[in-house]
Amino acid sequence: MARMSKRRNLAAGLMALATAITLAACDRTEERIDRAREVTEAAIDQVAGNGEAAPKGTDMESVPLEARAFAGSIQTEPMIVNTESAPRSRFAIGSIIAKPRDLPQLPTPTEALVMQRPELAEELAVESETILREELPTEEAEGSVDEPAKELERPLRDAIQARPELRVNRPGELAIPRALPPDQMRLARRAVVTEQAIEVQTDARARMLDTMTEFGLSGQVELTRTGEMVVQIGSDGADPTQFRDLPARQIPDLFTTEGATRPGLPRMALNARRECPENPDRAQMRANPVLATECMVQKLQASGEFEYVEKDFIFDHQFLRRPNEPPVRVEVRPDDPLWALQWHFFNNGTGEGESPGGSGFVDFWTDAATTGSRDVVVAVVDTGLDMDHPDINASMNVAPGWDMVSDPAMGNDGDGRDSDPNDPGDLCDPSVPFAENSYHGTHVAGTIGAAVSDNGTGVAGGAWNVTVVPVRALGKCGGRLTDINDAIRWAGGLVPAFDTEGNEVWNDNPADIINLSIGLFEFCPASLQDAINAVTERGAVVVSAAGNARVDTRFYSPGGCQNVVSVAAGDARGHIAPYSNYGDGVDMLAPGGDLGRDDNGDGRPDGVLSTRLASNCFDPVTGEPVDTCYYAFEQGTSMAAPHVSAALALLKSREPDLIGASLSDRLMSVLAPRTVEQCASPCDEYPGAEPVPGNPDLCLRPCGGGLLDLSRAESVN
């Protein structure tokens, strides 16, 4: 296949079109021929940026100001990330997550489906036999039987023969029955609460209430469908939010900044890991909710009745924010489209229209003759989505989502959980210099494909046709672990949300891929790992930012959790960015940007350009400052993760049968190799790191199996 990124004139365009027509010889349908032609012509026009064939968005002078202005200037100050002074993790005061130790295992997807629709038992039994015949090797040509395959096959067949109405999922089977109608698929993903589980939860609830009484506290215990229990501690029968406005001098360790306990801010505390007194005074417990939270956690852990008990940690998005400097007048050629600034999607290379840190999307769009499918669903668990953004408000790619932020103070929208995932802003403390609303989820979702691509406006996303489900779990000052856990499960179609009247609201578009561009400087919380395991067991792929603390990602979550695709951030050279986490837990390197560099010499910072309401912008046609705009350069592992989510969505669009680990393994198999230097940094910045052999000034920062390069995926013939 010819490489479209190297064709910049009409003659090359005709050659590429001939290549598309050649695809027809591979037994293509007329529809595939037409689609290949459309994609090829679109790619030619995008790259060429001139002539009558160019789409309207490539000529900046011909589009409105809102379709071309963007924010982001090259940062001249050195990037300093001091891990010793990095903010400690925080937790929501009075909120605790626990899981009883003897909780029975949840039904498998097929068990859940049959429990709700018994008439499907016979159909699923037949399907199970079909899966066995198709998925498991039996006898080889010589007549011998492969012993490992035989051992894998036997328990599957035994289970079906013993109870065909409840097919048990084992290694080697699909996590979700395939070829089911959408209504049955939704049922198969839902968890079902058994009587035994309710009994175990009831006993655990009694233990929690007894412990609260012992400490002179009161509160609420919520029982969930997944077996987890959420405790909200109050005092003297009051609502748990009673401590929100207490002065900091009365409650030590509250929040992270001076004055942050004033009305209107969520109540949270630094995770100081305080030891509970041996015989805590009840009056002291009632007066200090931070101490009460610590004592409740430690007491319940010591009971031995729980698999885990942990505080409700507060997660942050993984932008690496710096003071927003006023724009500098920069001469930009008026015929350069915003696409020309999106080096992160370019093909990997050093030629014209390529970038050493590019992720190869152009070649994939061209060679695979696809820009995505709306049958593929990517859930973005983040700050929500700016529904008023002009490149999003009319997008067919956005499906109904949910707002999982339970604390009204954190929600910043006047209420708790509801069906509106719109992002009202997440500014925590307006008194902090340069603080602003991040619209983080909008930037992340735009990279994946929430915004309309190839429409003559703004920027392009990785998957032009995809279904994006926004799930808001982060709000003002961050996001609570309890909300994030529920958001992940709702995104995967495993638990319902509830409307204002108490009716169940299920996600009718269960995610194939869940993007988590969030972070917490803690080992992976057990409840978060539970939520991740639940959705991955049912066939979803969870993609996570590795984190921006430039430490081993095992100290971070969810980047250090199990069963996630952990993504470190690279710059335009394909080198690990100076802020990025690293380590053996990282799976791959993807473009995250570096606002302090301009390695491609385009006069703009090497950040990731995507959708976001921003300030301190400029008009690339006139070079004049603009107060607000809808596109911005950002940097962070938050920007790297959605590139991987978009790549997975494109692979699944081309190969719909890929699911779960088979999908992520497919992407891992086409990563581009890197040099040692690309995963190394100056040793004086990373004390104790292992020096590169032969270069004592550079130290290794393991950054996964390779660099994301979608162009290496085989084309469909």
Q: What's residue 525's pLDDT?
A: 95
> Nearest CA to 453 among 464, 442, 443?
464
Tell me what percent of the chain is helix, strand and coil, each rounded to the nearest 5: 35, 20, 45
Over residues 465-476, the mean pLDDT reads 96
The predicted-structure confidence for 179-192, as pLDDT tens digits, reads as follows: 456 666 666 666 66
Q: What's residue 555's pLDDT?
A: 94
**How many Cβ atoms sit within 10 Å of the Cβ of residue 21?**
14
What is the C-alpha to C-alpha distance for residues 333 and 620, in angstroms, rounded to an integer?
Answer: 8
**Catalytic residue check, 382:** yes
Q: b/e for 368-395, b at 16 or more Cβ within 10 A?
A: bbbbbbbebbbbbbbbbbbbebbbbeeb
Q: What's residue 103's pLDDT?
A: 83
446 pLDDT more than 70: yes
What is the C-alpha to C-alpha distance for residues 19 and 15, in angstroms, rounded to an integer?
Answer: 6
Lowest mean pLDDT among 12-16, 495-499, 588-592, 622-626: 12-16
What is the C-alpha to C-alpha distance for residues 244 and 421, in angstroms, rounded to an integer?
Answer: 25
Q: Which of 440, 443, 575, 643 is catalytic?
A: 440
Residue 568, H or E segment = strand 565-570
- In the sheet that holds 691-692, the strands lie side by side as 680-682, 695-700, 691-692
The residue whose two tokens read 């700050």 is: 383
Q: Which of 638, 653, 681, 711 is catalytic?
A: 638
The predicted-structure confidence for 134-154, as pLDDT tens digits, reads as follows: 444 444 434 444 444 344 344
SS3 label, residue 70: strand
pTM to 2 decimals?
Answer: 0.74
Q: What's residue 270's pLDDT?
A: 77
The residue whose two tokens read 């089911």 is: 180
DSSP code for 119: G
Is there a contact between 295 and 310 (Cβ–Cβ < 8 Å)?
Answer: no
Going by pLDDT thresholds of 50, 70 and 90, the confidence category of residue 155 is very low
Tokens describing residue 161: 């023969």
What is the C-alpha to C-alpha distance for residues 612 and 270, in angstroms, rounded to an integer?
Answer: 30
Going by pLDDT thresholds of 50, 70 and 90, the confidence category of residue 611 is very high
Question: Which residues partner with 519 through β-bridges?
Answer: 316
Q: What's residue 96's pLDDT?
A: 87
Q: Which of 382, 483, 552, 606 is catalytic?
A: 382
SS3 label, residue 136: coil
Q: What's residue 55's pLDDT?
A: 34
What is the C-alpha to C-alpha distance for residues 392 and 401, in angstroms, rounded to an integer?
Answer: 14
Main-chain dihedrals φ then ψ at residue 124, nearest 5 degrees: -70, -30
Q: What's residue 514's pLDDT?
A: 98
The predicted-structure confidence for 203-233, as pLDDT tens digits, reads as follows: 888 898 888 888 888 888 888 777 788 888 8
**Catalytic residue check, 669:** no
What is the C-alpha to C-alpha distance for residues 596 and 325, in angstroms, rounded to an integer?
Answer: 12
Lowest mean pLDDT among 332-341, 398-407, 612-621, 633-642: 332-341
The share of the chain scoring above pLDDT 90, in percent, equals: 39
97 pLDDT more than 50: yes
